Chains A and B, each alone.
Chain A
Amino acid sequence: MPEKKDFIYINEKHGIEYSLLIPYEESVEELAHILIIQFNLPIYIEKELTQHLRIFIEDRTNEYFEEISDQVVQKGKDHEIPIDDIVKNWEKLMREEIIEFGERRCASDEELFATAYHKLVHSPALETMLQLEHMYSKIVRQKTEEKNALIKKLSDSQSEEMNKAVDRLEQDMTESKINELVARHYESHSLLQGQLSSELDTLKEAQRREYREWVMQMLEQNQANSSLPTPSSPLMPVVPRNFQNTRANSRDQINSPLLEESFTIHLGSQLKQMHNIRILSADVMDLCSIHDDEQLSEPTPQLLQTALGLYSNDLSGLVLMTDNKIGSRLTQEFQEVCQQTTEFHFPHIEDQLNKISSIAQQHFKNPQNGSSRNSNSELLQTGDFYMTRHSNLAQVHVIFHMVTDDSIRGIDINSRHPVVLGLRHILKTACSNDITSLTIPLLLQYEMTEEMTINWCEKRAELVFKCIKGFMIEMASWGGSELKNLQFMLPQGISQAVFTSMTEMLPRIFKVCNPKILA
């Protein structure tokens, strides 16, 4: 928008001198009245003055526009403006913003599969699909266990051999021979490891392909028959019977009573928004890892929920804590959980992390981005976070990997701490990407550490509750999707006393809804 111009309106008859900006955007009649008041003029000149003013403003406005518009045209004619650049810019703009001029783009494989999956998962085929996935995962599990067993066997035999060798050190063994042995062991160990892993990967890849093809086929059948697909037997993999029951105790673990309490709260002073909040103490990996129940061939009901929501507008997210290196060892446990079964929808976790890494590097290296960061470092900063997508986790679709550091263990962090700011970005990202369920570590860490005194926990929880409340109020004006369910997670094994103190604190900070009384 070109700048406005100052003009002085002079009305000699009434002795008015008044400066105004052209183009004048307010009401001319009102201006006339202001002048009447300011210059203490009689009210009967209202009409005349308005008319006079209107003509003055109209003329000046016309002059103003004619001047700037003509100038532009003249410049264009005189080739003072780089016409080619202008044309290029316009062309680019139209191509990028208007569908007509944009590239004709077909739906990507990802989108096609997403649509197909979403349709089928909301049809009677759901059961078959989940069972199929379940069978696939059993096979992967079994393979993994076999792999682990083989590796263990090798390790055992190697260490035995090594022991023997060391015993004979005084006799016919020399140190160099031992070193040689170590090298040989290492080599065969990694060979086996590599071989088995690659077998596993091949298996997963095959499963993935098979599964995706099957889904597309099912959809085609469905469309051809224009009826709901009959869950006809797909390439149901056969699960070997001698499947070992090695994790019998896992079941007790799931059913062990959790510390948890739910609230319904409302936010806002006049218009009140409802949200569900839950505080629970558990191992965060329970939200990710699918517990395999050997007795049943049925998948757990949570999986059903997760599958139904995968391509919906109600995603479920989880905040995990990590350090400043993408895919560092801190995420190892999580990565293993991801690899327990086949990922049918998204790239494998390593590939996702690699891609994020390269995006980060590209960004930091580009001097145009002019950030205050060290351009050589590819490390992230505290408060940054990256996101991965998953279809094979128990209760979540999206993971926010938040970068933290040791400062988080201190007792005196405040609302301007980068991790808290990062939480705000997470809420904002969730809001603008339809992630409507979110799990956050209430103490900003999932592990119990020694600083966690009752006092420390209370202070930390109060900070997080209050900040999150503020962010949620802010969220209401962002125009995205609301956060429906918010979970605050406490480390597993937190004392009952701390837990109670948290559940008592929550209603003091958030306004808890009245229980509805049905009259």
Chain B
Amino acid sequence: MTVDMPVSLLKNPELKFGAITFFAKQHKGDTCGSNGLPLTPNSIIIVGNAQLLKTIKSPFLCDFLDIIRGKHERTIVVSQYCGTPLAKIIDKHVLTHLQIKKIAYQALKGLSVLHKLDIVHRNLSNENILRQENGDIKLFNYGLYHMTNRGALVSFPVLEVLYTAPEVYLSGFDSGHVDKKVDIWSLGQRIRKILSLLQVNTSIFEKIAREHNCYEVYLNLPADLKELIELCLNIYPSKRLSCEELLDKLYFNEFRDIQEQKKMWEPFEVFSIQELYYWWQLAGGDVFQELKKQGLIRSSPPILSLPSLVLIEGTLLGQDRNPATLYDPRIVEMPLETLYQRFIHIPITAFYPLIHSKSDIISSSDPPPYDATGLPLVIKEKDPEYQFHRVILFRRLLHGYPFTKDLIRQEAEKDIPPLLRGDVWSALLNVPQGYERDYMRLDKYSHTTTDRQIEVDIPRCHQYNELLSSTQGHKKLKRILKAWVYKNSQYVYWQGLDSLTAPFLYLNFNDEAKAFACLSNFIPRYLHKFFLKDNTVVIEEYLAKFSQLISFHDPQLANHLHDINFDPKLFAIPWILTLFSHVFPLYKILHLWDKLLLCDASFPLHIGLSILTQLRDRLLTSGFNECILLFSDLPEVDIEKCVIASMQTYQSTPRSITSREHENEQFYKKNDLDIRGVTLEELKKESCPRISAADIINTVRKNPDKILLIDIRNTTLFHRSCVKGSVNIPFSSVSFNETVLDNLGTHSSLIKSKGDKVVAIIGDCETDLERFPNFLLQCNVSRVCVLHGDFNRFTSVIPTILTSGTTN
């Protein structure tokens, strides 16, 4: 194994990319859309349209990689760029007829992929056909016409002057001609050009040949090639054949056999050009800087091109067209040296991680794994090498989904690589195979009563994000929401569902069905019954639980909020109904949900708690009005702290503390020892949460030092039988007049020095299970909870945790 190996894996001649740039048209003056909102900038529409191109995979097309928006409507398109443009080759070499036929065939193959997606190339020329080392070709820059809404979003014409079909010129610039046949014309012209030939009666081809003094070459052409070109160069579009028809021609048979031996499955790629591009960016690659360095982005100082006069109508006067904004079709290749250097020491084994069978012997021969533990998540996400290892690993795991579900979960607990987050999330959400078909069958067109509300909400949903504010984004979001409403007739559309969908759509922009499937699995798991037409009971229960959780972890804060009458229902409803997706910007939601997806439906309560904890100092010194103001526009929240804090409380809180009646039983199965049958009225009265017998039993057995059990039954009963390690403070012996712990007598010191133990209060039907915990709460004792049911729950438990009360 040589040291150079891995880099040579990266140094594949086809794994190279380049960029082009142009300006989108600026909106003139101050126009508004039909909904009264400002128009979406054209560059954003382009970004949205271009996403589709990322899904196109064909050996004869360059992979589309990225689209970047700069200031002032600058748009940069990054795509695979490898091989040599035909224009360069035909200058030096003469291609054989066979080679030409092959090029024609492959170009047609590429075009037919595009045409099936209703994409017209329009830019076909010998500059845009790249010949690879093995003689195959790839078409480049085929997306410009599509992403610019057929050229309407840019001010320059999308075409190659020499190769453009006559009807394009004849219909004028604004016509937005989308007939695919224009590509066929271009193809014909191209092939002709390759033959270095260059009319009207008999044949256009013949005429062009004569004009270029190449009539002899023309006459010597094999008949099939001649026919092909003639078929392409018919001036009547209707008589020009389509891609499919041309591909069916007999003279292509010789290629068909080699090409069409399709494998049953696509082979697994260790990594793709998309990932290479991603690593390149992390390793410091900057498309914008490269374009600048190579002179494609020239900027003249803005002070030299100011308008002189702006009228109240919005008319700008005296501003010349900045020559730097003209369309320059040059392509700039991106240098990859830095990336190669950065990855030079990565051993080849790192490309092929062993997942299922890894022996100690193999491990010991491996170099130590790249260590990024302990670094903040944001740093890890920016570390090219760390992301390299994560992406390589997750790719493999995702390839094996659903069989690797557990492994994916296990790895996701460490962190989720941003590049693959969409797929990892859908794996964590158990999205089943065949989700596309399910989605396709849903009606997203027919008019429903919620349409109006959806249409009002969408242009207000995370619009700072380019994808979500694009025309395509709006369209897709609407479809997903309509599909959800259609499928879940038992539920209604609540405002907030749009925000909830936004992260899924953002991550699966090109796979609506997957975004929908994620949403469909997400809601039952975390927001069961929240979208009922009457969801008051569910929400009230949830809020009551939230109050109790605050009391449990932060009695001081809970007491303060109680004193100033600041109830969670005043601020937390949008939090829970959208699981914070209405509160935070997308990049924060992603990190938050990364963890949420690994936890159960009680996790959002802990997130809420951690937000309050971050604002704790301000809340404690604020009155009701200040609190309302504070929450009306939530201050910046440190999301990493928030995630860590909520994980901590989530892990240290017995699950039954947050148990709810309206939880989805499917994800949280309950038995007799769990909490069941608590009415909302009861719940709202209780300031401290209940704990289930099951949780007490578990803790007593496994971590007896984590719990302080206080038995408040009378001494006689306690001595007859009690839980191991419990202390007896008979209810009747305590005076509740003052909120002083010392009133509890001898055991007060135990409570004072309890640390972070859970304080569970055990009583029976004769004891008052409200005053005692409330008293502790008012004394600012944390983690107070009450046994659900009474002492007798424990009697039937085997093996027993009871003892006869002589230990005290």
- Interface residues of chain A, those whose CB is within 8 Å of chain B, are 1-2, 23, 25-27, 29-30, 33-34, 37, 62, 65-70, 72-77, 81, 86-87, 89-90, 93-94, 96-100, 102, 105, 110-111, 114, 118, 266, 268-272, 310-313, 315, 352, 355-356, 359-360, 363, 369, 371, 380-387, 389, 397-398, 418, 421-422, 425-426, 429, 432-435, 474, 476-481, 511, 513-514
Contacts and interface: CB of A to CB of B under 8 A. Distances in A.
24 contacts: A1-B178, A33-B443, A69-B167, A69-B177, A72-B167, A76-B167, A94-B157, A97-B156, A111-B301, A114-B304, A268-B464, A311-B304, A356-B308, A356-B309, A359-B317, A359-B318, A381-B312, A384-B310, A384-B312, A387-B308, A433-B302, A479-B73, A480-B72, A481-B71
A477 B445 contact: no
A34 B445 contact: yes
Given A65-B180, A371-B315, A384-B310, 18 more contacts: A30-B440, A33-B442, A34-B445, A62-B242, A72-B171, A73-B237, A89-B173, A93-B173, A94-B161, A96-B321, A97-B327, A100-B329, A270-B582, A313-B302, A352-B308, A363-B317, A429-B310, A511-B633
Contacts of B236: 69-70, 73-74
Interface residues on B, range: 35 or more
A23 B176 CA distance: 13
A96 B156 CA distance: 8
B798 interface: no
A99 B173 CA distance: 18
Nearest to B179: A65
B44 interface: yes
Contacts of A425: 310, 312, 314
Given A72-B167, A311-B301, A381-B311, A389 B306 contact: yes
Contacts, number: 221
Contacts of B177: 69
A69 B308 contact: no
A270 B237 contact: no
Given A477-B41, A477-B469, A479-B41, A99 B328 contact: yes
Name the 6 nearest CB pairs between A and B, nearest first: A66-B238, A97-B156, A383-B312, A69-B237, A311-B301, A271-B585
Contact of B303 (A76, A310, A355): A310
A437 to B, nearest CB: 13
Contact of B181 (A69, A111, A435): A69
A351 to B, nearest CB: 12
Interface of B: 26, 38, 40-41, 43-44, 69, 71-73, 118, 150, 152, 155-157, 161, 166-167, 169-173, 175-181, 235-238, 242, 299-318, 321, 323, 326-329, 440-446, 462-465, 469, 582-586, 633, 635-636
Contact of B235 (A1, A73, A397): A73
A269 B72 contact: no
A72 B69 CA distance: 37
B157 A514 contact: no
Nearest to A355: B308
A432 to B, nearest CB: 6
A97 B311 CA distance: 26
Contacts of A422: 312
Nearest to B633: A511
Contacts of B300: 111, 114
Contacts of A69: 167, 177, 179, 181, 236-238
A111 B712 CA distance: 87
B172 to A, nearest CB: 7
A360 B306 contact: no
Contacts of A480: 71-72
A34 B38 contact: no
Contact of A37 (B155, B443, B469): B443
Contact of A73 (B43, B170, B307, B636): B170
Contacts of B311: 371, 380-381, 384
A432 B307 CA distance: 11
B244 to A, nearest CB: 10
B518 to A, nearest CB: 20
Contacts of A74: 236
Contacts of A384: 309-312
A379 B237 CA distance: 55
Given A81-B170, A382-B312, A70 B237 contact: yes
B469 A2 contact: no
A409 to B, nearest CB: 19
A75 B170 contact: yes
B752 to A, nearest CB: 28
A185 B157 CA distance: 67
Given A34-B443, A90-B157, A429-B310, A70 B238 contact: yes
A479 B69 contact: yes
A480 B72 CA distance: 5
Contacts of B463: 477
Contacts of B317: 359-360, 363
A508 to B, nearest CB: 9
Contact of B170 (A86, A426, A481): A86
Contacts of B442: 33
B181 A110 contact: no
Contacts of B585: 270-272
Contacts of A359: 308-309, 317-318
B199 to A, nearest CB: 13
Contacts of A385: 309-310
Given A266-B636, A422-B312, A29 B440 contact: yes
A474 B585 CA distance: 17
A272 B150 CA distance: 35
Contact of A433 (B150, B235, B305, B583): B305
B506 to A, nearest CB: 13
A29 B436 CA distance: 11
Contact of A86 (B26, B43, B172, B238): B172
B443 A97 contact: no
Given A76-B166, A105-B323, A387-B308, A114 B173 contact: no
Given A69-B237, A313-B302, A315-B303, A98 B72 contact: no
Nearest to B483: A30
B303 A397 contact: yes
Nearest to A401: B309
A72 B302 contact: no
B157 A478 contact: no
Given A33-B441, A389-B306, A425-B312, A118 B327 contact: no
A302 B620 CA distance: 44
A476 B463 CA distance: 10
A102 B176 contact: no
A270 B169 contact: no
Given A72-B167, A387-B306, A90 B173 contact: yes
Nearest to B308: A356
A230 B301 CA distance: 26
A209 to B, nearest CB: 20
Nearest to B584: A270
A37 B486 CA distance: 12
